Structure formats: structure tokens, C-alpha cells
Structure 1
Amino acid sequence: MRKGAKRKVSQREDNKENSTKPDNHKEHPSKASTRSKRVKASHPESEPEYLEEPRNLEDLWKAAFPVGTEWDQLDAVYRFKWDFSNLEQAFEEGGKLYGIGNNKVYLFGGTEPQQVPFKGKLEIVYIPIVVAVVSPCPPSDKIGIKSVQRETEEIVPMKEMKMDWVPYIPLDKRDRQVVEYGRKSPQIFVLGCTQRRAALKHMKIDRLKKFDYCLPYLMPIKEEELELSTEVDILFPAEPNPPVYCVFDWQFDEVEEFADDRIKEEELSADQKDAFMEFVKEKVRQQKRENREKKEARRQAFEKMSVEAKAAFENLKYYKFYPVQTADTPDISAVKASYINRYYNKAHEVL
């Protein structure tokens, strides 16, 4: 065999081995080039959220302080999302409080605890009400304080109870000066209260209870409307027995017969009869004295009034607003009433 042939074979084998080895001189593609690019997932554009535009008078009913509501029940009043859109609409064209000339609207709030159906069961609910008084001037600057528990009635200045008529500014006017708004727009006033709830814990009980018995006051326009009660509340301390509570009407009841009835009912012992009768007579004298003072106070107040003021009082209009029924609020349709309080008596219209 030729030497050259052997060399060629071995050379071919060497070449074959070299061809099977990786080529160290060939450039390797970088990791960045081999790594696939991330593609961001395209999310469909979400629908834009539209917030309901607040109405100009949306918080008007809340601005009117619920006079006479116990402080510890205020949260119960706002438990529901009450709808007073009927009050707002009353200020729009065609509404009861639209186009009232030179008059202004004075609003005060209150609550009426009633047992009403809600979600299949009966509940005691504090129903908010708003009374609108149409008048060229404030209907009163006083507050009445009266209840069955209180022996006497008090008529005090509003400011003594930290209350006053304050202008209400609609939402779309609150970025302007109040003075400018007051000159150019119809004015709405609400009866507000500046008493801070945080300070109540430092208040004396008697003072605290006065707020519970407050009633917006209105001087009777006609003498026959003046409430001159012939009834007196009797709370006689019949120790060692419980106190005797009853109502005596001097127009229909006779004192001795009234006392005998209490003895028959075993509310009073026989040896307490004379003391009880004297107690009742003193209460009657006190009530008659108050009635005379009321008549005199009314007479003097009207004498001081101008002709224009008297005419304004004679033409006062009161509108009582209840919340509008919604799916989220109790059904109050059966408990609506025109009665406002002992001073205003009944509303001209319930809305």
C-alpha cells in the first residue's frame, strides 16, 4: 500500500473529526436576540364612570335643624337616605315656593317617631319633616319649650338655645360671596343650631332636656287661635306611694269629685285628700295666670307692629314636607298629618 494513500485516509479522518467539533470561531447569537419579546396584553378600554351631578338644593332638608329631636336620636334620623326632591322641586317654576314676590322662605325641621312598615316588618322610625313658612320677615325670633313632663311653658329667644335663622346658599353659589348672592337671588333661610354635640356631656341635665322640648314658636295671629288651655297636668307627690299623675280640666271637672275618684282608684289615700285638692287648685290658679299673661303679651306685641307687619302675619303660609317614597325608605303614606305643633297648628298644605 502506498504511504500516500494511508496519509490521505488519516487526513480524511482528521478532517471528519474536525468537522464534527463545534466551530469556536463562529459568533453565537446573544441571549437578547434569542429571547422572544414580551407583548403587552391589550385590555379593552373600560367604560368611563359618570358621577351623578349634585343637585343645587340637595342638602337643603339637612340644613334645617330637626328642632325638638333628642340628641341621642339624631343618628337614627339619618339612618335612611331620605329623598326630599319634592322640597327642591317646590322652588322650581310652577312649584309652591316659586314666584313668591318679595317674600322669603323660612324652613325649620322636625321629626315624627312613627311605627311604619319596612322590609316586611314594623319599625319605630324617626321620620324627618320640613316646614316652609312663606313670609317677608322671620316668623319669630323665639322658641317655645313645653312638654307634659315640664310644669310650665317657656318662650325664650332663639339665641338662648343657640338657634337662629341663617341664609341657605345653594351648591352652585357657594364659590361666590354670600353678599352678592343675597342681593341678586331669592333668599332661603333655615333654622340652624350651633350647639356642638361634643359639648353635651358637660351640660347639665335640665339644660340638655330643654333641647328635647323645643318647638318653633309663632305668636297667634288671631286671638281665637291663642291656645288658652283649661287643662292642667297634675303630678302629686303621694309619699310613701308613687306620685299621682292625672289631668284636671277645670271646665268639666269638680275638684272634690276628682279627688274622690282618685281615692276610689286607690291612687290616693283618704288622709291625703285635702292636700291633693289644694295642690290641684294651686295648679289651676297658676294656669289661669299664664293664660292672662299670654293674652296680654299678644296684645302688646300686636300694638307695636306696623300695619305692614300685621298684614304679613295675616298672610303667612305654611307648607309641610315629608320625604318622597323610595325603595330604600319605609312606607310613611299612612302617617302623614297636617299638624305642625301647638304654635303653628296645621299646615296649609302637606306635600
Structure 2
Amino acid sequence: MARGAKRKASQREENKENSTKADNHKEQSSKAATRSKRVKASHPQSEPEYFEEPRQLEDLWKAAFPVGTEWDHLDKVYQFKWDFSNLEKAFEEGGKLHDLGNNKVYLFGGTEPQQVPYKGDLKIIYIPIVVAVVSPCPPSDKIGIKSVQRETEEIVPMKQMKMDWIPYIPYDKRDSQVVEYSRNSPQIFVLGCTQRRASLKHMKIDRLKKFDYCLPYLMPIKEEELELSTEVDILFPQEPNPPVYCVFDWQFDEVEEFADERIKEEELSADQKDAFMEFVKEKVRQQKKENREKKEARKQEFEKMSTETKAAFENLRYYKFYPVQTPDTPDISGVKAAYINRYYNKAHEVL
């Protein structure tokens, strides 16, 4: 081979060797850069998040449906983070609702719209309350429907208003069977309602309003506890003048004097006096008839009861719970009251 050819072959070998070294150097630099990027991209491991476990009865007050609260105002009940830890503690050792023997606890909710101070101003607040009834059996399977806007009072089965006593299951028992829980733990029942709000727009107005006027019912055990009103609402039409609206109490008012007073106040025209008096008398007759029917219904229902059931009803106790005051909730200390409703009257204790 010629000398020049040998020199060219030697240069090609040298260039090839240098190229291989350069490629190896690039590959090593690339790997080093990748490792560097990975190190830069990695972050210190974040601290694990811890969530406070719910208390066993934390949602108990919400489980008790606020009976008689207007549907349009339900959201106002839950606009504050109300604290019912007093209700929860009542089930702990030493509490009012702990170790009740054969008794169970039946809870129903409600709301009391009150004007109370909040953030330097007076506001109407829908205050939630919970009533606990201690009894060996459900205090009633009926609901009362009554308000000043309704002429008559209705006592209907709970299920007619889609309500019933429902077992309440604490958080730690919710993976267990209800039957197992009921055998081994104190029984708590809440008055629940299965009526879906989404379907309210398809409901007739009269049916919808019945929900607004519902009251948990309790049959009066003693006859003197039976509320028999001596008042009647009067709405007397007199065209073309405005109707006369007033309340007549037959225990204290005399019909003719009552009519003369309306004329004197220019509520009633003189030529309508006789018609007005007859109208009032008819309303009084209707109210007295209702009172007689109530007495008879109570008597018949009481006679059907067993001796044990009568004894249970005579020993019923009920407690009324208000929310505990917190910095985030309105001051309700000045509006607490023992009165529950027309059937239960007053609670034995307010907590």
C-alpha cells in the first residue's frame, strides 16, 4: 500500500476513535443531567393530613326533622354552625338521657324564629330546638295540624305526612346491622320526614301548607290537660265594605255587646248587626261541637290503653334542648322558653 494511503487510513481510525469517545462523553453528560433534573424536581415529602373524627352523636340534632318549619325557611335553620354538644352529653354517663332502663328516647326537632342580637344588630333568626321524650314506647303515631290561619284542627297519622319514628345510628355503629345495634345499645329514635323537597313544586298548595302547620302530637292523659278553646275566629263578609276580622271568646264576651263594639269601632255597619250576631253564634256552636268530639275521642283512646301503657304515659318526661352558645352563633340566652307546643305544653327541663 502507498504511504499516502496508509496515512489516510490511520487518520480515519483516529477520527473514528475520537468520535466514539465524544459520543460516550455526551451520553454520560446526558445521564448526569437527567439525574440532576430528577434531584431538582423531587420535593420533600409533605406532612400527612389529619382529619378530626366525627363525634358519635354529632349529627343527631340534624337527624331530628324540624317539624312545622316552612319549607322556604329550612335553609335558614342551617346557616349557622349550631352546637348541640349539650344534647350529646345528655347521653353520656351522668347525663339526663343515660341509663334509662327500659325507656327509649324519642327526639323531634322544631324552630323558633326570634329577634336576637347578632354582630351588633337585631335579626330574626330561626333557632333550632330539639325535644327529647323519655318513654318505653313511641309517645304518638299522629301529627296535629293547626294554626291561626286554619279554621279546624286535624289529628292525622304521621305516615299521612310522610313522617315516622326512625332509629338513629351513631357513627361507630353505621357499618353494623340496625338489629344488632338495637339489641346492644340504648335506643334513640328521631322523628324523620321522607318528603323530598324537589317534588314540592308539584304539590297542591293546601297539602304543602299542611307541612308548615304540623305539630308533634301527644294525647292528653288528664282531662284537664285537654286544650278546649273558648275562642272562635270570626271572618264576617260584608259587601261592599271590608270583612270583619276578630276573635270572640264565649267565656267572656256577650254577643250583642260584642256586635255593638264592632259598630262603635266602625268595623261593622249597623244594618249588618243581626246577620253578624247570627254568624258569631253559628261559629260558637261549631267550636263547642268540636270540643265535645275531642273529649269523646280522648276518652275512647284512653280506654283502649293497657294498664302498662297508661302508666308509661303518666310518667313521660320531656326535655327541651337549645344550642350551646359559641362565638360564631347569635346570642339566644334571652329567648329560651319551656313551652313546646299546644299538645306537649311545657318541658320538664330546658337544657
CA distance in 1, matches of 2:330, 2:48: 34
Aligned to 2:155: 155
Matched, 1:318 2:313: no
| C-alpha distance after superposition, 1:268-321 (max 9, x if no partner) | 111111111111111111111111111111111111111111110110000001
Aligned to 2:99: 99
Matched, 1:286 2:291: no
Which amino acid is the alignment partner of residue 88 of structure 1? E
CA distance in 2, matches of 1:34, 1:306: 95
Deviation at 1:238, TM superposition (A): 2.4
CA distance in 1, matches of 2:86, 2:140: 25
Query: What is the root-mean-square deviation in Å for CA atoms of aligned residues?
Result: 1.6
Could you tell me the percent identity over the aligned residues? 85
Secondary structure of 2:68's partner? coil
Deviation at 1:218, TM superposition (A): 0.5
Larger radius of gyration, structure 1 or 2? 1
Which amino acid is the alignment partner of residue 62 of structure 2? K
Secondary structure of 2:131's partner? strand
Secondary structure of 1:246's partner? strand
Which structure shows the bigger proportion of residues in helix conformation?
Answer: 2
Which amino acid is the alignment partner of residue 276 of structure 1? F
Matched, 1:339 2:330: no
Which amino acid is the alignment partner of residue 76 of structure 2? A
Deviation at 1:45, TM superposition (A): 4.2
Aligned to 1:173: 173
Deviation at 1:44, TM superposition (A): 4.5
Structure 2 residues without counterparts, runs of 5 or longer: 1-13
Aligned to 1:113: 113
CA distance in 1, matches of 2:260, 2:58: 59
Deviation at 1:32, TM superposition (A): 4.2
Secondary structure of 1:243's partner? strand
Deviation at 1:259, TM superposition (A): 0.9
CA distance in 1, matches of 2:160, 2:272: 40
* Bigger shift: residues 147-156 or 264-273: 264-273
| C-alpha distance after superposition, 1:184-239 (max 9, x if no partner) | 22111111111111111111111111111110010112111111111111111222
Task: Provide the TM-score with structure 2 as the length reference.
Answer: 0.90
Aligned length: 329
Secondary structure of 1:278's partner? helix
CA distance in 1, matches of 2:180, 2:122: 49
Aligned to 1:256: 256
Which amino acid is the alignment partner of residue 71 of structure 1? W
Secondary structure of 1:133's partner? strand
Secondary structure of 1:283's partner? helix
Q: Which contiguous aligned blocks of 4+ residues in structure 1 show a shift greater than 6 angstroms? A: none
1:118-267 residue pairs with structure 2 within 5 A? 118-267=118-267
Which amino acid is the alignment partner of residue 220 of structure 1? P
1:38-49 residue pairs with structure 2 within 5 A? 38=36, 40-41=39-40, 43-49=43-49
CA distance in 1, matches of 2:181, 2:66: 26
